[in-house]
Amino acid sequence: MNELRARSLRVSLGGRLVLRDVSCTFEKGWTAVVGPNGAGKSTLLRALAGLQPLAAGAVCLDGRDIAAFNRGELARRIAWLAQQAEVTGELTARETVHLGRLPHLGLFGSPTAADETIVDVAMDSTECHGWQCRRLHELSGGERQRVMLARVLATQAPILLLDEPTTHLDPPHQVALARLFRRLADTHTVVSVLHDLPLALHADRILVMRAGAVQACGKYDDPALHEALVATFDGAVRIDNRGARPMAVPHLED
Amino acid sequence: MSMAPTSTQVASHAAHDDRARRRRLAIALVVLAIVLSVAGLVVGSQGWSWQAFVSDVSGPQADLIVGQIRTPRTLGALMIGALLGLAGAVAQGLFRNPLADPYLLGSAAGASFAVVLVLAASTLTGHAISLATAALLSRIGIVAAAFAGALAGVLLTLMLARGAQQGVRLLLAGVVVGVVLGAAGDLVTTISPDALRGKQVFMLGSTGFLGWGSVWVLLAGLAIALPITCRLARVLDALSLGDDTAASLGLPLPRIRLTLVVLMALCTGLAVSQSGLVAFVGLVAPHLVRRYAPAPQSYTLAASAGMGGVLLLAADVLARGLIAPQELPVGVLTAVLGGGYLLWLLHRRRVG
Amino acid sequence: MNVWIRMLWALVAVVTAGSSTSAIAQTMLRDDRGTVHRFDAPPQRIVSLLPSLTETICALGACARLVGTDRFSNWPASVRALPKLGGLEDAQVERIVALRPDVVLAARSARVIDRLESLGLQVVVVESQTHADVKRTASLLAQLIGAPAEAERLWDAIERDMRRAAARVPVYLRGQRVYFEVSSAPYAAGASSFIGETLARLGMGNVVPPEMGPFPKLNPEYVIRAQPDIVMAPRRDVESMAKRPGWQTLRALRGRSCGFDAERYELLIRPGPRMGEAALAMADCLASMEEMR
C-alpha cells in the first residue's frame, strides 16, 4: 500500500548523467534523502513525482508504472513540494493552500465546507494561520515555506515528496516540522530531501546519495549506513551512538 | 497551536479589506461602463454639446446618427476593450510575466501581414501571385483577412514551438514569428505603397467604422471566450506557483496551455480584425486591476475584461470629443489614459 | 587720352563681363530651411529623396542628371532603373555618398539630412505642400540646374492643364461639395490642402473647411452629416464605403463617386509637376458623371 519503487532510474540533463541506475523503495514511514550538493536528490524526487522525463528505468506505484496512471489520480496519491517557491501572482496564503485541493476538485468542482476544514487543519499543522490573508510574495522565506507545506498537506495524498522543506525555517519550526513528519510517518510515506544531517537522522530510513548514485539505503541505526554517511561526507561528520538515538555531529577536531 | 488573537484580527481585517476592494472595483467598472456608454451616445462630430445631442435625437436622422453609428461604435469599443483586457490577463497569467500582452504570440504580426497582402493583391499580380489568387484576395475583406491572419500567426508560433509545452519556447517562437512576418510585410509594402498606407491605418487602430454587424460578432466572441476562460482561472492560479507544482497538482498542462493560447488568439483576432492594432489596452488593464484589487484569477480575468472595455471606451469617447469634428487616434489615448492612471496608482502606493 | 579712355572702357567691359560670367557660374540658393547653398557650377549628379522632387527635376528636363532616388520615386519610367536609396526614415547613407552626388534633394522631415551634411554633401531641403510650394520648388530647382527659364515653362504647362481641366467640369457640377478621402481612417483632404486647392481651381467645393487643416482625421459622423455631393477616394475604399455603418445614406455613393486606381491615386496625392495631369484626372471623372434630373 502506497509503496513507491524506483527501478534503475537514469536521468540525463544537458548531456550530464544526473541519476545513474538509481533503485530504491519507499514505504510507509519517513525517509530522509541526504547527500552532498549535486548528488541528484532533487532530480530523484522529481522523477518519483513523475515530473522528470527518464532516459531509462521506471517508477512504480504499488506495482504499476506511474506513467500509466491517470494524472489526476496520481496527484491524489503523490504530493510534491518544490525546493524553491518561484512565486508570481497575487494569491494569499489561504488561497495557495486551497490549491492543494485541486487534485480532488479538478478544474470545475466547487469547494465545500469539508474542503475549507481540510485547509484549516493543514494550515494549523504548519502554524501559518496567522498570515492566511497576506499575499505570498509579502511573506518571508520561512513563512512561505510553511504555507507551501500546508498546501501539500491539504492534498491529503498518502505519499509526500518534499524537497528541502526546512531550509528557511528557524530551529523551533524545524523541530516542529520534524515532529509533524514523525506523526505523519505513521500513516503516510514521507520522503524528504534534507541538508540538515542531525535532523535527517530522526527519520526512519535514510537514503544516502552521491554523484547520481545511491551510496546506501537503510534504517537510521544501521551501522553500514553510518559508515556510508561518514564516507560520503568525506569525514566532515561523525555518528555519535552514545545516546538513545544515533546523532550526526559535525566533525571539527582532527 | 499558538495563535495570537491580534494576528487573527489582522488577518480577518485584511480579508475584509480585500473583499471590499474587489466589490468597489466591480461596482466602479459597471458604473463607469454605463456612464461612458451614455457619453458615447451623446458625443459625436459636434463634440460634447448637450443641445446638439437633443436635436440629434429628436431630428430626422436620429436613427441613423445615434442608432446606426454611435450606439454600435460605443458597444463595439466596450467589447473590443473587454476582449483585449481578457486576452492580456490570460497572457500575463500564462507566461507569468507582467509585461506580456495579447499580441505576443504572433497574432498582431499575422493580422497586419494578412491585411498588407490583401491590400497589395492587385500590385502583387505579375510579381509573385497569380491572377486568380489576386482576385480572391481582393474579395476578402480586411476584417476577414485580419482575423485569419491573427489565427495563422498564432498557429505558426505553435508549430515553431512544437506545441504549448513550455512557456519560454512559446514566447521565443512568438517573437521570431513577429519579426519574420513584420519583415515580410515590410517587403510587400515596398512593392506596393498603396498597401503601406493601409497598413499604417491598421497599425494605429481605429474604432470609427464599428457597425451592428461588428457588435454581434464581438458579442458572440466574448460570450464564448469569457466563461471558458474564467473556468480555467484555477489553472492560471496554479501556474503562478510554478510549472512543476501545477503539474504535480494533476493538471494536464500542455493541453490546458494550448486551450488558453487558442482562446487568446480568438479574442485578439476578433478585436484586431474589427479595430486594428489598438495598443496598450491588453497590457495595462490587468495591471490596473491588480494594483487596486489583487485577487485570484477567477476575479482578475473578468475584472480585466471590464477594465479593458472601460479603458477603450473612455479613449474612444475622448478621441471623438476632444477636437470634434476631428478625431485623435484612439491608440494614443489608450496609452495616455492607461499609462497615466498606472503612474498615479504607483505614486499613491509609494506615498501611502 | 582717347587711348586711356578706351582702355578704361575695355577694362570696365572685361571686369563686368568677368563678373557676370562668375554670376552665372556661381549659383546661390536659399532652401526652405533658410540655408544658403553655393554652387560653382550647376550640379551634374543629383540625388533626390522625395518623389515629387524627382518628378520636378525630370519635368525641368534634367532627368539625365539623376544618379539615385528614394524607393518611392517611380515617374517617369526611366527613373525606375536608378539606384533606390531607401525611404524617408531609412535612407542608405553609404550608398548615397558612394554615388558622389553634387547635391542631395530632400524633404524637411528626412532624418538623414544632418548625417549627409556632416559627410560634406550639400543637401537642399524643399517643402512641397501647397500649389505655391510647387511653383516655388520648380523655380528653385530650375535655378539649381542652371535653367531658370524652365520653371516658368513648367508652371505655364501646369496652369494650362488646370484651365483645361476646369473647362471640362460639367456646368451642373460646379460648386458641388466634394469629399476627398485620402485614407480610410478616415483622413480627408481639406480645402487648405493642395488637393483642396486643385478642387477649388476646378470650381468645386469641399466638405472640409480650411480651418480644419489640410488632412484632418474625421469623425465618420461628420461626413454623413455633411452629405457630400461627390465622393473621391481610392477605388477599393469607394467600393467598401457603403458597408460602413450609416454610409449607405450617402447619396454620392450612387453614381457620384470617383474611385481611383492605385497609379492614378498616387498621381493625385503627389504635389509636384504633374498637378495639372492630376487636375485633368479629377475633371475626367467629374465629366463622366451624368446630370441628375
pLDDT over threshold 80, residue B327: yes
**Distance from the C182 Cα atom to the nearest Cα atom in chain B, whole angstroms:** 9
Q: pLDDT averaged over chain B?
A: 87
Question: Helix B281-292 vs helix B5-42: angle between axes, to the nearest 10 degrees?
Answer: 140
Contacts of B194 in chain C (CB under 8 A): 234, 262, 265-266
Q: What is the pLDDT of residues B225-262, one digit of tens each?
A: 999 999 999 999 999 898 889 999 998 888 898 999 99
Radius of gyration over every alpha carbon of chain C, rounded to an integer in angstroms: 23
Q: What is the pLDDT of residues A9-57, one digit of tens each?
A: 999 888 888 999 899 999 889 999 999 888 889 999 999 999 988 999 9
List Cβ neighbours of B304 (8 Å cut-off, separation of 6 or more).
B85, B86, B88, B89, B285, B286, B289
Q: Residue C193's pLDDT band (boundaries 50, 70, 90)?
A: very high
List Cβ neighbours of B282 (8 Å cut-off, separation of 6 or more).
B84, B85, B87, B88, B91, B101, B102, B103, B268, B308
Q: What is the pLDDT of residues B84-96, one digit of tens each?
A: 999 999 999 998 8
- Identify from B197, B217, B330 which residue to disrupt to test chain C contact, counting C C-beta atoms within 10 A and taking the largest count: B197
Q: Which of A151-155, B24-28, B342-346 has the lowest mean pLDDT?
A: B342-346
Grid cell for residue C178:
466634394
SS3 for B1?
coil
Q: Residue A109's pLDDT band (boundaries 50, 70, 90)?
A: confident
DSSP C164-231: HHHHHS-GGGTT-EEEEEEETTTEE--TTSHHHHHHHHTT-EESS-GGG-SS-BB-HHHHHHH--SEE
Residue type, C32: D
Q: Say if CB A22 and CB A207 are below 8 A apart.
A: no
**Distance from the B273 Cα atom to the nearest Cα atom in chain A, whole angstroms:** 31
* Residue B77 CA neighbour count, 13 Å, CB half: 30
Q: pLDDT averaged over chain A?
A: 88
Q: How far apart (Å, rounded) are the C-alpha atoms in residues B304 and B320?
A: 24
B45/C225 touch (CB, cutoff 8 Å), yes or no: yes
Confidence at residue B11, expressed as pLDDT on a 0 to 100 scale: 64
* Residue C142 CA neighbour count, 13 Å, CB half: 18
Contacts of A76 in chain B (CB under 8 A): 250
Q: How far apart (Å, rounded) are the C-alpha atoms in residues B72 and A120?
A: 50
Pairing of strands A213-219, A237-240: unpaired
Contacts of A135 in chain B (CB under 8 A): 294
pLDDT over threshold 90, residue B338: no
Most confident of A114-128, A202-216, B22-36, C73-87: B22-36
C245/B69 touch (CB, cutoff 8 Å), yes or no: yes
Q: Residue C22's pLDDT band (boundaries 50, 70, 90)?
A: very low
pLDDT over threshold 90, residue B193: no
Mean of pLDDT values over C136-164: 90
- Interface pTM (ipTM) of the complex? 0.89
Mean of pLDDT values over C108-120: 83
Grid cell for residue A149:
507545506
Interface B:C, ≥3 CB–CB pairs < 8 Å: yes
| Nearest Cβ partner for B237 among A72, A99, A148 | A99
Residue type, B127: H
pLDDT over threshold 80, residue A210: yes
pTM, full prediction: 0.86
- A110 part of contact set with chain B, CB < 8 Å: no
| Nearest Cβ partner for C266 among B138, B193, B210 | B193
B211/C246 touch (CB, cutoff 8 Å), yes or no: yes
Question: Which is more confidently placed, C179 or C24?
Answer: C179
Confidence at residue B279, expressed as pLDDT on a 0 to 100 scale: 83
Q: pLDDT averaged over chain C?
A: 86
| Nearest Cβ partner for B326 among C216, C224, C234 | C216
DSSP B239-293: HTT-HHHHHHTT--HHHHHHHHHHHHHHHHHHHHHHH----SHHHHHHHHHHHH-
Q: Say if CB A218 and CB A204 are below 8 A apart.
A: no
Contacts of C185 in chain B (CB under 8 A): 201, 204, 206, 208, 329
Contacts of B232 in chain A (CB under 8 A): 107
What chains are in contact with A, requiring at least 3 Cβ pairs below 8 Å? B
SS3 for B352?
coil
pLDDT over threshold 70, residue A193: yes
Confidence at residue C23, expressed as pLDDT on a 0 to 100 scale: 47
pLDDT over threshold 50, residue A222: yes
Q: How far apart (Å, rounded) are the C-alpha atoms in residues B235 and A106?
A: 10
Please tell me what DSSP assigns to residue A126.
T
Confidence at residue B352, expressed as pLDDT on a 0 to 100 scale: 46
Express as a percent the part of chain B with pLDDT over 90.
45
Contacts of A46 in chain B (CB under 8 A): 244
A133/B231 touch (CB, cutoff 8 Å), yes or no: no
| Nearest Cβ partner for B240 among A80, A82, A91 | A91
Q: Which of B187, C91, B341, B297 is nearest to A99 (CA)?
A: B297
Q: Residue B208's pLDDT band (boundaries 50, 70, 90)?
A: confident
Q: How far apart (Å, rounded) are the C-alpha atoms in residues C222 and B70?
A: 12
pLDDT over threshold 60, residue C267: yes
- C88 part of contact set with chain B, CB < 8 Å: no
Residue type, C120: G
Q: Which of B52-56, C151-155, C284-288 has the lowest mean pLDDT?
A: B52-56
Q: What is the pLDDT of residues C54-72, one digit of tens each?
A: 999 999 988 999 999 988 8
* Number of alpha helices (DSSP H) and beta strands (DSSP E) in chain A: 9, 12
Mean of pLDDT values over C225-245: 89
Confidence at residue C10, expressed as pLDDT on a 0 to 100 scale: 61
- B230 part of contact set with chain A, CB < 8 Å: no
Q: What is the pLDDT of residues B17-63, one digit of tens each?
A: 888 999 999 999 999 999 999 999 988 888 788 888 888 888 887 88
B68/C246 touch (CB, cutoff 8 Å), yes or no: yes
Contacts of B252 in chain A (CB under 8 A): 71
- C266 part of contact set with chain B, CB < 8 Å: yes
Confidence at residue A239, expressed as pLDDT on a 0 to 100 scale: 84
Nearest CA in chain A to B244: A51
Mean of pLDDT values over B97-102: 86
| Surface of B (88-127) touching C: CB under 8 A | 119, 122-123
Q: What is the pLDDT of residues A225-234, one digit of tens each?
A: 888 888 888 8
Mean of pLDDT values over B103-117: 91
pLDDT over threshold 80, residue C32: yes
pLDDT over threshold 70, residue B173: yes
- B76 part of contact set with chain C, CB < 8 Å: no
CB atoms within 10 A of CB C177: 16
Q: Residue C20's pLDDT band (boundaries 50, 70, 90)?
A: very low
- A82 part of contact set with chain B, CB < 8 Å: yes
Pairing of strands C205-206, C230-234: unpaired
Grid cell for residue B155:
498557429
Q: Say if CB B76 and CB B218 are below 8 A apart.
A: yes
Q: Residue B6's pLDDT band (boundaries 50, 70, 90)?
A: low
